[in-house]
């Protein structure tokens, strides 16, 4: 269950990152509110999951999902440029997260 909460929290991390971008420096109310709510949910899920999971892999999964998903959302919907290097880098982030989890280590 902790891994599921952690993965969902990583998705919420991408949500707050995109909301932060769309808030235009906290000048757009609803995107600013969205940022605050999604950040709170994301951090709460991370905190809960880390009570049961090792810190390194848990944090890597949370940030990895958030970073990779935010980059993809940026490329698909926010007009960020797409390049082979960016796509390879996202694949490396995902590979690193998987590698940390395969390396094991229990809490």
Instruction: Please state, in angstroms and rounded to a whole number, the distance separating the CA atoms of residues 27 and 24.
Output: 6
CA torsion angle for 94, 99, 102, 103 (degrees, to 10)? -150
Instruction: Please state, in angstroms and rounded to a whole number, the distance separating the CA atoms of residues 101 and 61.
Output: 9
Which residue in 98, 103, 13 sits closest to 62, CA to CA?
A: 13
Global pTM reads 0.89
Q: Where are the domains positioned within the chain? A: 2-102
- Helices 84-102/55-77 angle, 10° precision: 160
**Alpha helices per DSSP H over 23-83:** 29-50, 55-77
Per residue of the chain (107 residues), give pLDDT as tens.
999 999 999 999 999 999 999 999 999 999 999 999 999 999 999 999 999 999 988 999 999 999 999 999 999 999 999 999 999 999 999 998 888 878 875 55
């Amino acid at each position: 269950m902790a891994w599921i909460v952690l993965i969902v929290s990583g998705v919420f991390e991408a949500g707050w990152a995109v909301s932060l971008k769309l808030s235009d420096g906290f000048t757009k109310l609803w995107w600013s509110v969205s940022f605050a709510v999604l950040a709170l949910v994301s951090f709460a899920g991370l905190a809960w999951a880390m009570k049961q999971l090792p810190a390194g892999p848990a944090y890597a999964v949370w940030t990895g999902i958030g970073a990779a998903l935010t980059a993809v959302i940026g490329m698909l919907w926010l007009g960020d440029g797409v390049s082979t290097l960016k796509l390879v880098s996202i694949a490396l982030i995902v590979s690193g997260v998987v590698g940390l989890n395969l390396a094991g280590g229990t809490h």
